[in-house]
Structure 1
Amino acid sequence: MAQPTPLNPQPTHPTDSEYLRKILLAPIYDLAKVTPLQPMKKLSERLGCDVVLKREDMQPVHSFKLRGAYNKLLSLTNEQRARGVVAASAGNHAQGLAMSAAKLGVNATIVMPTTTPDIKVDAVRRLGGNVVQVGDNFDAASAESRRLAAEQGMTLVPPFDDVEVITGQGTCGMEMLQQSQKLNAVFLPVGGGGLAAGVAVYLRQLRPDIKLIGVEAEDSACLAEAWKHGKPSDLSNVGLFADGVAVKRIGEETFRLCYQHLDDVITVSTDEICAAIKDAFDDMRAISEPAGALSIAGLKKYAQQNDVAGLQLGAILSGANLNFHTLRYVSERTELGEGKEAVLAVTIPERKGSFRQFCETLQGRAITEFNYRFADNASANIFVGVRVEDESARLALITELEDKGYATHDLTNNELAKLHIRYMVGGHPHRSIPEKLLGFEFPEHPGALLKFLNTLGEQWNITLFHYRNHGAAYGRVFAGFEVPETDNDAFHGFLEQVGYEYHDETNNPAYTAFLK
């Protein structure tokens, strides 16, 4: 998207030159590390340019958040330190603050949602933080942190929207410029905007020729939303796969700086993030968390859409704190993110040898998945995954199958198919059912599924149900309900009363092909 007219800085904000001075003098290096800027040789060869990666996963807490948290604590008076500090965080900011507080002998209370994975809660406690778990989401934890700050006189340490925090994160850009004078573009991951704001305000003053591009997950693009309106705006909801950037509203000061200094902001999908995690592993043997691979995904998307031959493109591996179970989901989605798997629903004749004949039609292409169950004597719907080179090869395959008489639906970008249907193929009811199909999301924690089922109650007959837990902060359920036409209004009233986030999948072609 095009660069908008910059906002005028308010008098209460530091000027750009003041930020530059603060970043240059930030006294964080007795705890934070100067992390390396390393070449990604395999990705560079594939994209036809020079890709370098800033390894913030090598910080003591495996995230850049240590820079801002430590700088903030160093800026406090002795009296403020004596009263202690408090913050709300679901992970990386919490660990950075806990380590910083332990270094300075400051009491730190971290308010975390009850949905926070144990690996992050345990890490904060090991670093000496006092963990208080409140609510199912960050907003509830944030409200509690503000209450504790007001009640007990502790200093609130925001995760991103704070001058000293932004300054600390800006040291990452200072190091990148010291490590390479050849940078042509830098891709900056955006959640609340602290890292992007700090790096951008520094690089823009010293190297205005470097293109600065913000990268967001498409299901939590709070900067892109604010960019449209010219001011921070709330998202109605956020996706939580890249939980480190799952922010509903960008900060006021971080937005001001991003709005002034970024050239563009682009968004990437979950599958593109998963593919970027694999790129980091292939090149560096580094395992990134989803938010940590965001800027790699954005860099790849930019390179595919623009001429980058001979340019040096920089990305930041911003964090590596993830649940091990998440890797199972990442692995499943990686080939889709790379555009190397086609997911198709294909109708084949129900006769002996039809599967072999279909495989012959693929002309040696590798089948990654094949799901089938007998439905009737005339035809069968199969769910098939096929390895392809790229998007054009996938489209060519579909055309080829249709030319040979196979009715084919492309499900490659169908979330329902990828999350649920591929694990459920073959279950047709024995009678016609007036069925409503819905996808639900709810905060994931021990007992969450039972709570979800209890909330649904027994008012409606459940005809289909699928749930998978892959270490994410939110659980996803695909469920069918028997709803006669005359009960539609009552059913919609019931859904509103239940209160869970949901979306109607009744007419989704993946459901129609395999389960209806």
Structure 2
Amino acid sequence: MPQRYIKKILDARVYDVAIESPIDEATLLSKRFNNRILLKREDLQPVFSFKLRGAYNKMQHLSEEELARGVIAASAGNHAQGLALAALKMGVKATIVMPRTTPQIKVDAVRSRGAKVILHGDTFEQASAHAQKLVAEKGLVYVHPYDDPEVIAGQGTIGMEILRQHTGPLHAVFVPVGGGGLLAGVAAYIKYVRPEVKVIGVEPEDAACLKAALEKGRRVKLPHVGIFAEGVAVAQIGKETFRVIRKTVDEVITATTDEMCAAIKDIFDDTRSIAEPAGALALAGLKKYIETHQVEGQTLLAIDSGANTNFDRLRYISERTEIGEKREAILSVTIPEQPGSFKKFCSVLGKRSITEFNYRYAHSQDAQIFVGVQIAANGNDREELVQNLQDKGYPTLDFTDNEMAKLHIRHMVGGHAPADIKEEVIYRFQFPERPGALLNFLTKLGQQWNISMFHYRNHGAAFGRVLVGLQAAKSDRKALQQFLDQLQYSYTEETDNPAYHLFLSGQTGA
């Protein structure tokens, strides 16, 4: 039963390496959402993440013989840093297997604490499998990043601190979820001591392994996991963590990439600190909870779980923030191709600012523009804007939620294919970003089909994204599909995407 964790949490040895992190009030957010919003600042830990709590507590429970053999873990970074610091503190040799997609800042941080780093695979699961192989070969002791009672108890000290530091009214605590160690520990403690406080898990929309498990009533393994928030990019919830979570957690919320980006900015605005995507995940869920349940006048707390992100990833984060905050609409609008049309279009927008405008001459009668427009964060301003434009005679499509439009089309507008480009099919690919990855992708793509369009943009993220146009006769489509499946890259066909037909296709009536 989860109650057995209470004594474990109370006895957990974490403060030799961890601090009792403060709880800060997010004053700007609180005013904006008419609630008291608090942040538990685990980003202020010595390794800029909560993970050292569980790692150190686990090592305190190892025997002298086990410590002498040395420890090993698989981690995307934060658990790796926690274990490396714990091992350094205790004079134990540590080996960390990290996915090759791990941000360099985390790799460097682990090495700086004396641990041996092995980069293997593109996902946590691949790194974990290699770590287990080394356990069998070298007799190392595996320290699991989340699915271990002592690790769970170490993370649970955060729940203990929250209730000790904040004794007043508390409506809900929001906790990021990857494998579930943090959520299980925090929920076990809070629900035992103050059962009236809601404990809500928050997952990325594209890595929602807990949500899937709760829906099925059993643990399931996701076929694909998005790793924008690599700290919680786990395909299957832990066995022990799921046992605890399903008995203690009130609700699970998912957040999109855009919503996480917006939450990173929110944390920066209130604290002048930069959270990593997983670090801001709980706040993204908190904001969604307020909007969904129409909550007012309550005290809500989100765990800011970490601040380990590559600086160059901030380019991508800032680009997506306005959409995540629901302050920008991305639209395709048809206006007359004649002098004064743009000015007239701007006047229809009223006081709204244009954040982006892309256009290229393509037709003597109509101009197709790709435009970003600033909108109010609350209410139905986006829907009203689209309706107003349509009422004024401007054919308009809303691309605010169109991934292809946001990732690629906005940077390629004006590239209609010439009329002699026939039988073009469009695919959007995603592959692990590391040195040589793009060349490897092109090599695998081969020369069997002519590449009629290619767009690649490095966002500083863990995965590279490519938009490709290929010429393939209808009789060849089955063979092409089989070929693409063999590439073993995540891909989506976008041939029927309206953004492609409006701005890129030579067959505009298709």
The normalised TM-score by structure 1 is 0.96
The answer on 1:178 being equivalent to 2:167 is no
Q: Which ranges of structure 2 fall in alignment gaps of 5 or more residues?
A: 506-510
The answer on 1:72 being equivalent to 2:61 is no
The answer on 1:510 being equivalent to 2:499 is yes
Deviations 1:127-155 (A, max 9, x none): 11111122222222111111111221111
The answer on 1:468 being equivalent to 2:454 is no
Of the three residues 386, 399, 407, the one matched with 1:398 is 386
Q: How much has 1:364 moved relative to structure 2? A: 2.5
Q: How much has 1:454 moved relative to structure 2? A: 0.4
Separation in 2 of the partners of 1:16 and 1:498? 44
The answer on 1:191 being equivalent to 2:193 is no
The answer on 1:341 being equivalent to 2:328 is yes
Separation in 1 of the partners of 2:236 and 2:358? 42
> What SS does the corresponding residue of 1:114 show, helix, strand or coil?
coil
> What SS does the corresponding residue of 2:46 show, helix, strand or coil?
coil
Of the three residues 192, 215, 235, the one matched with 1:205 is 192
Of the three residues 137, 142, 167, the one matched with 2:153 is 167
Of the three residues 369, 378, 381, the one matched with 2:368 is 381
Matches within 5 A, 1:46-445: 46-181=32-167, 182-390=169-377, 392-431=380-419, 432-445=421-434
Deviations 1:469-489 (A, max 9, x none): 112111111111011222112
Deviations 1:332-367 (A, max 9, x none): 011100111010000011111111111111112100
Separation in 2 of the partners of 1:402 and 1:17? 59
* Matching residue of 1:19: 5
* Matching residue of 1:9: none
Separation in 2 of the partners of 1:172 and 1:364? 46
Matches within 5 A, 1:38-49: 38-49=24-35
> What SS does the corresponding residue of 1:80 show, helix, strand or coil?
helix
Deviations 1:421-475 (A, max 9, x none): 0000000112142111001111110010000000001111111111111121111
Query: Is residue 124–residue 233 contact of structure 2 (8 Å, CA) maintained in 1?
Result: no
Separation in 1 of the partners of 2:405 and 2:171? 39
Separation in 2 of the partners of 1:165 and 1:52? 25
* Matching residue of 2:508: none
Separation in 1 of the partners of 2:492 and 2:424? 14
Separation in 1 of the partners of 2:478 and 2:295? 54
Separation in 2 of the partners of 1:215 and 1:320? 17
* Matching residue of 1:6: none
Separation in 2 of the partners of 1:137 and 1:300? 29
Separation in 1 of the partners of 2:112 and 2:223? 35
Question: Aligned pairs, how many?
Answer: 502
Q: Which amino acid aligns with 1:101?
A: A
Q: How much has 1:162 moved relative to structure 2? A: 0.4
Separation in 2 of the partners of 1:308 and 1:274? 22
Q: Which ranges of structure 1 fall in alignment gaps of 5 or more residues?
A: 1-14
Query: Is residue 330–residue 370 contact of structure 2 (8 Å, CA) maintained in 1?
Result: yes
Separation in 2 of the partners of 1:512 and 1:58? 48
Q: How much has 1:321 moved relative to structure 2? A: 0.2
Is 390-399 or 267-276 further displaced after alignment?
Answer: 390-399
Separation in 1 of the partners of 2:81 and 2:16? 17
Q: How much has 1:490 moved relative to structure 2? A: 1.8
* Matching residue of 1:449: 438
Q: Which amino acid aligns with 2:27?
A: K
> What SS does the corresponding residue of 2:207 show, helix, strand or coil?
coil
Q: How much has 1:378 moved relative to structure 2? A: 1.0
Q: Which amino acid aligns with 1:423?
A: H
Separation in 1 of the partners of 2:484 and 2:140? 41
Q: Which amino acid aligns with 1:511?
A: Y
Q: How much has 1:310 moved relative to structure 2? A: 2.0
Q: Which amino acid aligns with 1:512?
A: H
Of the three residues 476, 479, 497, the one matched with 1:490 is 479
Deviations 1:139-197 (A, max 9, x none): 22111111111221111001100000000000001000001022211011100000000
Q: Which amino acid aligns with 1:136?
A: D
Q: Which amino acid aligns with 1:430?
A: P
Q: How much has 1:308 moved relative to structure 2? A: 2.3
Separation in 2 of the partners of 1:509 and 1:90? 37
The answer on 1:478 being equivalent to 2:464 is no
> What SS does the corresponding residue of 2:3 show, helix, strand or coil?
helix
> What SS does the corresponding residue of 1:219 show, helix, strand or coil?
helix
Q: Which amino acid aligns with 1:266?
A: I
Separation in 2 of the partners of 1:281 and 1:360? 34
Q: How much has 1:80 moved relative to structure 2? A: 0.5
Q: Runs of 4+ in structure 1 displaced over 6 angstroms?
A: none
Query: Is residue 415–residue 503 contact of structure 2 (8 Å, CA) maintained in 1?
Result: yes
Separation in 2 of the partners of 1:259 and 1:507? 41
Of the three residues 30, 33, 38, the one matched with 2:16 is 30
Deviations 1:267-302 (A, max 9, x none): 111111010000000001110000000000000000
Q: Which amino acid aligns with 1:180?
A: H
Q: How much has 1:114 moved relative to structure 2? A: 2.2
* Matching residue of 1:12: none
Deviations 1:385-437 (A, max 9, x none): 00000351111111110001100000000000000000000001121421110
Percentage of pairs with the same residue: 58
> What SS does the corresponding residue of 1:449 show, helix, strand or coil?
helix
Separation in 1 of the partners of 2:462 and 2:322? 23
* Matching residue of 1:499: 488
Deviations 1:111-136 (A, max 9, x none): 11222222211110101111112222
Query: Is residue 49–residue 78 contact of structure 2 (8 Å, CA) maintained in 1?
Result: yes
Query: Is residue 102–residue 230 contact of structure 2 (8 Å, CA) maintained in 1?
Result: no
> What SS does the corresponding residue of 2:254 show, helix, strand or coil?
strand
Query: Is residue 178–residue 231 contact of structure 2 (8 Å, CA) maintained in 1?
Result: yes
